[in-house]
Structure formats: C-alpha cells, structure tokens
C-alpha cells in the first residue's frame, strides 16, 4: 500500500515510516523539521520538507495514497502554555488542512495521533475512552479539537477516521531538547552521565510509559483494522509507574543509582494516569509486548545518544 505520514520525520513518525517500508509499503513523509530529522528515515522513505497546512503540497503528496497517518503537531505541554496560538494554528489548523486535502484527492482513511494528556485529572484509573476529557494545557485542548475535526469532517466527507490517544511514548530516537525534555531520555541521560535527576513534585505521580515499537504496532493496526471508523482508542502499556519507581528502574538498568533532587515548588502534573487498553485489545488486537525495564534496556543499548555515536536508523518493531 501507499501511505502518507505527516510529521513523519519525528520520533514516532520516523519509527512508523521505517516499519512500514520494511513491511513492503510505499511511504511518503511530510515534515517541516521543527522537531524532525530526515536522517532518522530509511532511504526507501520518500521525504518532503513542508508545512502540514500547505494544502497544494498535500494534494501532490496524496496522489495514489490509500491512507494517511496524521502525526504532525507541536507536542510540548509546557511550551503550549507560552504559545497557545501557534499550537492552535499547527495542531488544529493542520488537521483541518489534511482533512480538506484528503477530501479533494479522494483518500478514504486517516489515523490521527492524539494524546493521553486530553484526560487530565481523572477520578477513576485506569482511564477508558468514555471518560470526559479534562484538558489542563493548550496542547491537550488542541488535540481534543483535532479529534472533533477529524470525526466531523470524516463523517461529512466520507472518510474513515480513527484517533489513537497515545500515552507516554519512549524509545530510541527520542531527542532531548534543551527545554521541556521528555522524562525518560532526560533521566536516563543524567543517570548515564553520573548527573543529578530533578523530579518535580514528590515523585509519587504516576504515568503510563509505552515503548515505541508497541506504539508503531498500534498505529499500523488502526490503519488496517475493519470496523474502527470514528473510534477513539487508548494506546499505552496499561501499567502504572510512579516517577520514583521510574528512577529506581533507570538506576537498575544503568547500574548506578542517580542522585535525586525534588523540586516540590513546581508541580509534577496530574497525580495519576494509566490507560485502560480493553478497547485496543478488542478492536485492534493490541497487546503491548515491551515492559518498562526491558524498554529501558533497549533504549540504552540502541540509542546512539547514550553511546556517543552518530545518529543511525534504528531497527523496526520487534515481532
């Protein structure tokens, strides 16, 4: 099959693109490189630099395409608080542009990468897809709006639509920006280098960390599965891990217990968040295969940034 991945040079997008190519599919990628890197992509991936809001460019890239994975977005929760207009422009406006271009060209299925952050604080855990969203940052608001646009326009235009609410994805290829770095690669870098890990809050807050290969499997399943039109589906590990426990696991994997400083003046976000995966199991046959400790060991052994080497395309999803 022939697919377009928007945001396909990013962390999740590149892993998805490489996996699809290895399965024999033809893959086109559109990315503005604000957070992506085309060096992550295998040579067989057709890369185009551009803005997801550029509808004429989308028209060209969508020719003869059977499905779209819409991953292009700005993704930093703290940054979205500072720049809500930009997050709305890209995450919402880009989604509308993709749907309009698909309508014009006649592409009939899209998988949207949404986020578990839309849930915010929830009284019951694990959280299922029927829970009312409680967005606590503009990023989460933009993802809810994107979901609504995808489903509404999909219904109006005759496009099959699926939204995956992806929880805390991690794995090889995840960059560590100077500000607002993802927690796992940041903590692992500090532990490997003998540095100090800074935990916001008391470290008792929990998250659902899901390995990149499991995320890729879920995305591909959502594109191929029957009877998933207009479905919202959680993608996570289904396991709840506190930040304190994460640090302990990282210490075990690295072989060195990192020094920890608690910054309780700055909150650690929602108190608990873990995905209910029953719907993913039922509709996609999705079962996460990589546990957190195994995933940390894979990240440490496979990611060049922890070995002092140059970037290299990583292996596809484990089978």
Active site residues: 139
Residue 72 tokens, joined: 């292009």
Q: Please state, in angstroms and rounded to a whole number, the distance separating the CA atoms of residues 160 and 94.
A: 18
Please answer whether residues 188 and 250 qualify as being in contact, where contact means their C-beta atoms are separated by less than 8 angstroms. yes
Q: How far apart are CA 108 and CA 40, in angstroms?
A: 28
Contacts of 220 (CB under 8 A, 6+ apart): 16, 19, 20, 23
How far apart are the two ends of the chain, measured CA to CA in Å? 20
Q: Are 209 and 167 in contact (CB under 8 A)?
A: yes
| Two structure tokens written together for 24 | 């024999």
Question: Contact 267/200 with Cβ under 8 angstroms?
Answer: yes
Cα torsion 111, 118, 183, 79 to 10°: value is 100
Task: Give the three-class secondary structure for 186.
Answer: helix
Output the CA–CA distances (angstroms, integers) from residue 246 to 2, 133, 235, in the order listed. 39, 26, 19
Contacts 24+ apart (CB under 8 A), 126-131: 126/238, 126/240, 126/274, 126/275, 126/276, 126/277, 127/234, 127/273, 127/274, 127/275, 127/276, 128/234, 128/276, 128/278, 128/279, 129/165, 129/232, 129/233, 129/234, 129/276, 129/279
């Amino acid at each position: 099959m022939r697919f377009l991945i928007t945001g396909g040079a990013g962390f999740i997008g590149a892993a998805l693109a490489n996996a699809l190519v290895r399965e024999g599919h033809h893959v086109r990628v559109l990315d503005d490189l604000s957070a992506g890197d085309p060096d992550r992509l295998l040579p067989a991936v057709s890369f185009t630099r551009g803005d997801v809001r550029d509808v004429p460019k989308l028209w060209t890239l969508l020719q003869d395409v059977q499905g779209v994975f819409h991953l292009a977005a700005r993704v930093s929760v703290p940054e979205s608080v500072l720049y809500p207009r930009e997050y709305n422009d890209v995450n919402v406006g880009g989604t509308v542009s993709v749907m309009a271009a698909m309508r014009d060209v006649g592409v009939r299925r899209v998988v949207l990468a949404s986020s578990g952050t839309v849930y915010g604080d929830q009284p019951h855990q694990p959280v299922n897809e029927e829970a009312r969203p409680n967005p606590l940052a503009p990023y989460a608001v933009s993802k809810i709006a994107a979901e609504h646009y995808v489903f509404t326009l999909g219904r109006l235009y005759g496009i099959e639509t699926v939204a995956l609410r992806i929880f805390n994805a991690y794995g090889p290829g995840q960059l560590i920006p100077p500000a607002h770095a993802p927690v796992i690669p940041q903590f692992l870098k500090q532990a490997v280098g003998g540095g100090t890990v800074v935990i916001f809050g008391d470290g008792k807050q929990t998250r659902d960390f899901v390995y990149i290969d499991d995320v890729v499997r879920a995305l591909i399943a959502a594109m191929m599965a029957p009877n998933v039109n207009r479905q919202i589906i959680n993608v996570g590990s289904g396991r709840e891990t506190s930040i304190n426990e994460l640090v302990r696991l990282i210490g075990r994997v690295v072989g060195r217990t990192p020094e920890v400083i608690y910054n309780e003046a700055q909150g650690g976000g929602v108190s608990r968040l873990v995905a209910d995966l029953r719907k993913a199991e039922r509709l996609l046959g999705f079962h996460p295969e990589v546990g957190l400790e195994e995933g940390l060991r894979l990240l440490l052994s496979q990611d060049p940034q922890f070995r002092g080497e140059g970037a290299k395309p990583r292996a596809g999803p484990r089978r």
